Amino acid sequence: MTDRKVPSRWGPRWSRWVGRFMAKVVWRTEVRHVGRLPRSGAVIVVANHIGIADGPLLHGVIPRGSYFLIGGHMMEGVLGRILRAAQQITVEGSGREALAQGLAVLKRGDVVGVFPEGTRGGGEAESVHGGAAWLAVRSGAPVLPVAILGTRLPGESVHAWPKLGRRMLMDFGEAHALDIPQELKGRARQAWAAERVAEVLRDHLAAVQQTTSLELPRDDPRGLRAANDAQEA
């Protein structure tokens, strides 16, 4: 990989302050245990994904520059121009180029953010993709889970921004080295890592939910989209 393909550190230097303003001024975001994020070195932050505000807010409350893997459909229009200027990583097609860029960021000693569910949903991380695990296997970076609650409530559209002033929560878990069994090779190694990443995130989500009145939406976003489409027809 050439240096020109590695996202610049300049983008997060300004964009994280935009996210922080949104988290603390536009909405009331409680941030717990952020000190668990290592102050230096490569880290893969994984979080559940329930609403459109998740990415900007998490980018803002992480106390270091971070680079999130973001679907290409979000890179359109004004929002897309902002995300590109912030040097966030576009996921297109098979995602191989995005993973290569994420790996380069980790090798540089920076923070990569991944929503392993791949799309906004009920937030329980029941089904996760293997991108974060792939990055962890190849970089050796620890995985740090973050539980997000309040950015979307049951029945709200996955496309809608939260109401101004809403209370939200972002709780940082402990960083985990995957410690993959040495006897595992190839696809078995990747599969083990993917399940371990999912387990780390689910366990943290379950623990955090015992400490707050905020609840996950736990709804089917596909059903919400179908209902919204029917109303618009």
Question: pLDDT of 87-127, one tens digit each?
Answer: 999 998 888 999 999 999 999 999 999 998 877 778 777 77
Nearest to 96 by CA among 130, 128, 120, 126: 130
Ramachandran region, residue 71 (left: φ > 0; alpha: ψ -120 to 50; beta: rest): beta
Taking a C-beta distance cutoff of 8 angstroms, is the pair 199, 132 a contact?
no
Q: Quote the pLDDT of residue 93.
A: 86
Q: Which positions ≥6 away from 79 have C-beta within 8 Å?
A: none
Say whether domain 3-232 belongs to CATH 2.60.40: no
* pLDDT mean over 185-214: 94
CA distance 91 to 74: 10
β-bridge mates for residue 31, sequence order: 170
% pLDDT > 70, the chain: 92
Q: Would you say residue 229 has pLDDT above 60?
A: no
CA distance 103 to 98: 9
Ramachandran region, residue 50 (left: φ > 0; alpha: ψ -120 to 50; beta: rest): alpha
Condensed to tens digits (0 to 9), the pLDDT of residues 155-171 reads 898 888 999 999 999 99
Nearest to 110 by CA among 73, 149, 66, 148: 66
Q: What does the domain layout of the chain look like in residue ranges?
A: 3-232
CA distance 189 to 183: 9
Condensed to tens digits (0 to 9), the pLDDT of residues 27-54 reads 999 999 999 999 999 999 999 999 999 9
CA distance 30 to 24: 8
Q: Quote the pLDDT of residue 221.
A: 63
Helices (H), 148-211: 186-209
Tokens 């996950």 sit at which residue?
Answer: 216
Q: Quote the pLDDT of residue 223.
A: 53
* pLDDT mean over 147-161: 91
